[in-house]
Structure 1
Amino acid sequence: MKKSEAGELLEQARTAWEAEEWLRSADLYERLLAHFPDEKASEAWWYDAALAHKFLRNWAKAYELGREAAARAPRGEGDPAYWNLGIAATIQGDWAVARDAWAGFGIELPDGEGPIETRFGPACVRLDTDGQREVVWIERLCPTRGKVVNVPVTGGRRYGEIVVHDGEPKGQRIYGGVEVPVFDELLLLEASELPTLEVTVSAAEADDLEALLALFTEHGFGAEPASGVRVLCACCSEGTHEQKRTVTTGAQQVSLAAPEEEARRLLERWAGETVIGRSWSGLAMVG
């Protein structure tokens, strides 16, 4: 390929990129890289081609091109080529490459093989299912995976799911004086077997409702009162907001994540712990 032809391809690839025509841009970069895989400038071309496929959620291609991009990136300096490869390798289930990618980025992980199961602390993830967006709390298992620890109100989503999230925060939440990032969901990696139920509970005191939530948590299940759900517009959701746990008294809906028989047993136990002030009704499966 002549230099003039290469220059024209590069210009077309960049123009397509600016227009967010990701597939066309990636194809043009790949055509260019087929002839010039190891030029100094090709480091950026590999990265952009891999990133375009990430935007397209074509994880096999993002993985393939991401390995080439990372192979040309400096290690231990926070180069984003490693982060994007870590995401793609995680989704592809190549844990050896994922571990090496995080190390290449500069993140220390415990020695081991297979899925990364460690504690990266709490964060929030903005779920996006068929245009329905909901911010939920997660416990991060690795730099890009987290377990959902809220009971989502979005249909089809469940407590205990394992999701893959992006690396760039889109908003902040403050809880107990600690600021945590809000990431966008990229993929539902592992579904949860726990169904979502709804029940109407009546609690005379705030401590009564707190006791119900704690009881379900102690048994590895989830419980979310309607009073804890806050509605924000899309713009506000990407800002910084202080989260305060709101627990009200009286009758209200509570979303539960548990097998129905277990939920019924725990509700009966909770209601029976006091003579008056606690009751429940209308337990029903919703998802």
Structure 2
Amino acid sequence: MSRKDDRELLKAAYEAWDAEDWALAGERLERLVRRHPDHRRSPVWWYDAALAHKFLRNWAKAHELGREAAARAERGTQDPAFWNLGIAATIMEDWATARDAWRGYGLTVPDGDGEIEADFGVTPIRLNADAGGGEVVWARRLCPARARVLNVPTPESGRRYGEVVVHDGAPNGERTVGGERFSVFDELLLFRASDLPTSTVEVGAGTPEDVRALASLFDEHGYAAEPASGVQLICSCCSEGSVEQHPDHQIGGGQRVHLAAPVVKISELMAAWCADAPERRSWTGAIQG
């Protein structure tokens, strides 16, 4: 190919990019950068080619091209080439590359050979973002790109308590709790499923403390119970903006409670909860597993 052909290929690649035709943009950029892997502008081309495949959720290709982009990026400067490689390597379970990518970005991660298991704090995650989902839950980050769901998602969300999801690194909204701000990250995919189904029961609780006692009882057994009063319905535009949340949302009275527990255990646990204060506590309704 001549220089003219290269220029036309580059132009066509970014025309496809502007049209959000990620498959065509990625193919053209890769073709160009394979011809000129160490051109002065090649770090940008490698990065954009990998990013196009990230948008396509073609993680194997994003991993392959992302390695080339990161190899041409400056370490310790928070270069996004390392971050995108870290995500792709995590999904591909290439833990050595993931660790190196996070360190190249400038983060500290624990040593080891397998999965990265650390505590990077809590963050809100928007579940099933690619499938049009919009439910935001709290999760504990195990690494820069993976988090374990701490809430009991609604049955409609398609997700479960305790599941591990991979999330994006670009914030898409904000939640404020007690004056502290947390960025919302969109889920990219389900990394590890939970075997605890989500069920819903109707309860009568005399006081908010009774609802807290129910949550504590399930937690003691490794399960979870969460009142539906904690679910705040907002439009997608507001969800992607700044929303203030109140951590203490328990209320007394009749209400729905979402449970994450084996169905065969629910009657036993609910009966134990009622027995501690039968004058204030009751439960009825079908269990939806």
TM tier, smaller? over 0.9
Residue in 2 aligned with 1:259? 262
Report the TM-score, using the length of structure 1 for normalisation: 0.97
Q: Is residue 126 of structure 2 the alignment partner of residue 136 of structure 1?
A: no
Give the deviation of 1:49 after TM superposition.
0.2
Q: Judge conservation of contact 1:196–1:285 (CA < 8 Å) in 2.
A: yes
Residue in 2 aligned with 1:35? 35
Residue in 2 aligned with 1:145? 146
Q: Secondary structure at the match of 2:218?
A: helix
Where in structure 2 are the equivalents of 1:39-188 lying within 5 Å?
A: 39-128=39-128, 130-153=131-154, 154-188=156-190
Structure 2 gaps, min length 5? none
Residue in 1 aligned with 2:223? 221
Structure 1 gaps, min length 5? none
- How many aligned positions are there? 286
Give the deviation of 1:263 after TM superposition.
2.2
* Residue in structure 1 matching 2:271, options 260, 268, 283: 268
Q: Judge conservation of contact 1:197–1:283 (CA < 8 Å) in 2.
A: no
* In 2, Cα distance between equivalents of 1:255 and 1:218: 16
Report the TM-score, using the length of structure 2 for normalisation: 0.96
Give the deviation of 1:198 after TM superposition.
0.9
Q: Judge conservation of contact 1:63–1:89 (CA < 8 Å) in 2.
A: yes
Give the deviation of 1:283 after TM superposition.
4.5
Give the deviation of 1:3 after TM superposition.
1.1
Residue in 2 aligned with 1:201? 203
* In 2, Cα distance between equivalents of 1:155 and 1:137: 14
* In 2, Cα distance between equivalents of 1:155 and 1:165: 16
Give the deviation of 1:155 after TM superposition.
4.4
Identity, in percent, stands at 56
* In 2, Cα distance between equivalents of 1:106 and 1:218: 38
* In 2, Cα distance between equivalents of 1:93 and 1:112: 13
Residue in 1 aligned with 2:12? 12
RMSD over aligned CA atoms reads 1.2
Moved more, 146-155 or 188-197: 146-155
Q: Secondary structure at the match of 2:170?
A: coil
Partner amino acid for 1:260?
V
